[in-house]
Amino acid sequence: METLVSLDDITSLGPIPDHLQPAFLRVANGLVQRAEYSKQKAMGLLAQMLQNPKKFAFSKNKVTNLAKSIYDLNEQGIVIPLSETGVRFLPREVAPPVLASHEKQPENTFGLRTEPLPYAVFGREQIEEGALAQMQTAVSLPVSLAGALMPDAHQGYGLPIGGVLATDEHTVIPYAVGVDIACRMCLSIFDLPPAFLAREPQLLKKSLVEETKFGMGGETRKKIDESVMELPEWQATKVIRDLKDKAYRQLGSSGTGNHFVEWGIVTIHETEHPAEPLALNLPPGEYLALLSHSGSRGFGASIANTYSKLAMQKTRLPKQAAHLAWLDLNTEEGQEYWIGMNLAGEYASANHHEIHNKLAKAIRQKPLAMVENHHNFAWREQLADGRNVIVHRKGATPAGAGVLGIIPGSMTQPGFVVQGRGNAESINSASHGAGRLMSRSQAFNTLTRSQWNKALQEAGIQLVGGDLDEAPMVYKNIKTVIDAQRDLVSVLATFTPKIVRMADANRKEGRED
């Protein structure tokens, strides 16, 4: 009997979203068991479909329905590039040429260091082996100069989520930034006591339903501040220009997966480290607060996928490092990505401000303070030894000395407002959340709605939308994660969620972080 296709085989083709992996596996093994395909032939058909989903989506064939799902993602700006392994499954007539071992390698082919750079790991006992292996590969790149792994780390594509990588100042790695460029946290603190939440729960819940928009195709009509769309960078490249109209329509909306907008209570604590100057500038106590998590929507995803694919063409690396391909910032394509990434950062911030302004207006208040930060981005920084570098934080919060940030938990766990302590070992970074214990497919296969509802009831959480892949049980214990990074951040405040809004279950898509 022909060997069946495994999940590892499927994910070797490229960055297949979690929510599509079961479908890929089902189709592949259906071909093997019922259509009597060899494993090699089934994998080859899937590789061809990924290379040209439109062709397979609009013709009658054995993978039509799956191809339609991939084509729909392409239409939303999410392209799944074939890995080096995936390319090798293509028939010879459609595959790019593969050099024989004796032929001279092209100039853009690179090997890895024989000895990886040493790197710091925080909360190692909480981190899966796959994430450690990915980080080991990342610090073996010839352009890598330093690395660190945060306690919420888990396996992703290229750099693990929770990974921090400093590279040569002329190189940027799109997959070390991530698909959701400038995924971001934003917190507004209001001059209202917790009693307001108990007194006006319907108003707060109604405001979330009416003033937020979630989902892959989510668009908003009403805008408060459109000034981000007037930035000159929108005319910088054809890729950006072609995405501008869609970006405008999605301004002020949120994505799917782990994106949320929620009302809750912020408790500002007494000073944790009295010798450190604090930047929150609010007296200790409890306040009504609004917390949001989302990124640069379809615009950022399109920039990420376009230039990740280009990087993999421009920089050939060994199989295990293929998704860590870089762009040279001295080249046209490197500059195009850098401009697009930074514009995605401005756009992501504007998205949050739209949401917060609308909800503040709904309760007729102005915030006393606002805290926000990216956690999927690349910055020009200096290492402690003075070297100029590009620091990639993929699912990691900037934590330079005095820098404010937000580390959320889950829908039933607290989040934390933190102040960076400038730890050089962590490359001035901290975790970006609790970190996942289960993949999305594991969550759907393992958890029940009754378990989920019980957890919400016990925590006193009202939830609008959401699905099992974001149930609180899929996340690590946030307090354990915070304890593992006490040398990286000081905790200024705790956020306790109460009314949570997420994408509806039928609007879900695969997300990496």
In a domain, 141, yes or no: no
**Domain boundary residue among 88, 112, 137?**
88
Residue 353, both tokens: 């401000």
Instruction: Give the containing element (helix H, strand E) for 108.
Output: none
Q: Provide the annotated binding site for GMP.
A: 258-262, 375-376, 408-411, 432-435
pLDDT at 223 over 70: yes
pLDDT at 100 over 60: no
- Cβ proximity of 131 and 149 under 8 Å: yes
Let me know whether 57 and 198 are in one domain: no
pLDDT at 105 over 70: no
Euclidean distance between CA atoms 90 and 96, whole angstroms? 9
The CATH number covering residue 221 comes to 3.90.1860.10
In a domain, 380, yes or no: yes
Let me know whether 324 and 470 are in one domain: yes
**Domain boundary residue among 72, 88, 104?**
88
Token look-up 């960076």 returns 420
In a domain, 135, yes or no: no
In a domain, 65, yes or no: yes
pLDDT score, position 438: 86
**Domain boundary residue among 47, 73, 88?**
88
Residue with the larger pLDDT of the pair 56 and 165:
165
- 419: phi then psi, degrees, rounded to nearest 5: -125, 125
pLDDT at 166 over 60: yes
Of the pLDDT bands very low, low, confident and very high (cuts 50, 70, 90), residue 387 is very high
- Cβ proximity of 90 and 44 under 8 Å: yes
Q: Provide the annotated binding site for Mn(2+).
A: 180, 259, 293, 375
Let me know whether 80 and 213 are in one domain: no
Determine the residue type at 309.
Answer: K
- Cβ proximity of 375 and 397 under 8 Å: yes
Say how many domains are in the chain: 2
CA dihedral 190, 296, 374, 382 (to 10 degrees): -150
Catalytic residue among 352, 353, 374, 432: 432
Average pLDDT score over residue span 468-477: 93
Contacts of 46 (CB under 8 A, 6+ apart): 10, 13, 24, 27, 28, 63, 89
Determine the residue type at 73.
Answer: L
Q: Where are the alpha helices (DSSP H) in 139-200?
A: 174-177, 194-199
Q: Where are the alpha helices (DSSP H) in 92-152?
A: 129-138
Least confident window among 221-225, 360-364, 482-486 = 221-225
pLDDT at 103 over 50: no
pLDDT score, position 267: 96
Query: Which DSSP category does 138 fall into?
Result: H
pLDDT score, position 266: 97
Least confident window among 9-13, 311-315, 446-450, 471-475 = 9-13
Of the pLDDT bands very low, low, confident and very high (cuts 50, 70, 90), residue 278 is low
Of the pLDDT bands very low, low, confident and very high (cuts 50, 70, 90), residue 510 is very low
Average pLDDT score over residue span 249-277: 86
Single pTM value for the model:
0.81
pLDDT score, position 502: 94
Euclidean distance between CA atoms 266 and 191, whole angstroms? 11
- Cβ proximity of 465 and 501 under 8 Å: yes
Token look-up 């149930």 returns 471
pLDDT at 216 over 80: no
pLDDT at 144 over 70: yes
Average pLDDT score over residue span 487-496: 96
pLDDT score, position 507: 41
447: how many CB neighbours lie within 10 A of its CB? 18
Structural domain including 265 reads 184-507
pLDDT score, position 353: 97
Would you list the DSSP string of 407-446? E---SSS-EEEEEE---GGGTSEEESSS-BSS-HHHHHHH
Euclidean distance between CA atoms 183 and 142, whole angstroms? 28
- 373: phi then psi, degrees, rounded to nearest 5: -165, 150
In a domain, 100, yes or no: no
Euclidean distance between CA atoms 248 and 240, whole angstroms? 12
User: Which pLDDT tens digit goes with each residue over 310-369?
Assistant: 999 999 998 889 999 999 999 999 999 999 999 999 999 999 999 999 999 999 999 999
Let me know whether 203 and 82 are in one domain: no
Token look-up 């890929």 returns 24
Least confident window among 42-56, 119-133, 325-339, 487-501 = 42-56
- Which is it for the CA torsion 269, 270, 272, 277, positive or negative? positive
User: Which pLDDT tens digit goes with each residue over 70-84?
Assistant: 887 766 656 677 776
pLDDT score, position 508: 44
> Which residues of 182-284 form beta strands (DSSP E)?
184-189, 260-268
Rg of the chain on CA atoms, in Å: 23
pLDDT at 292 over 70: yes
In a domain, 97, yes or no: no
pLDDT at 49 over 50: yes
| In the chain, % of residues over pLDDT 70 | 92
User: Which pLDDT tens digit goes with each residue over 181-215?
Assistant: 999 999 999 999 999 999 999 999 999 999 999 98
In a domain, 114, yes or no: no
- Cβ proximity of 86 and 9 under 8 Å: no
In a domain, 22, yes or no: yes
Least confident window among 148-152, 155-159, 288-292 = 155-159
Let me know whether 308 and 433 are in one domain: yes
CA dihedral 32, 33, 37, 39 (to 10 degrees): 30
The 3-state DSSP class for residue 472 equals helix
Let me know whether 220 and 334 are in one domain: yes
Q: Provide the annotated binding site.
A: 180, 258-262, 293, 375-376, 408-411, 432-435
Let me know whether 72 and 190 are in one domain: no
> Is 432 assigned a catalytic role?
yes
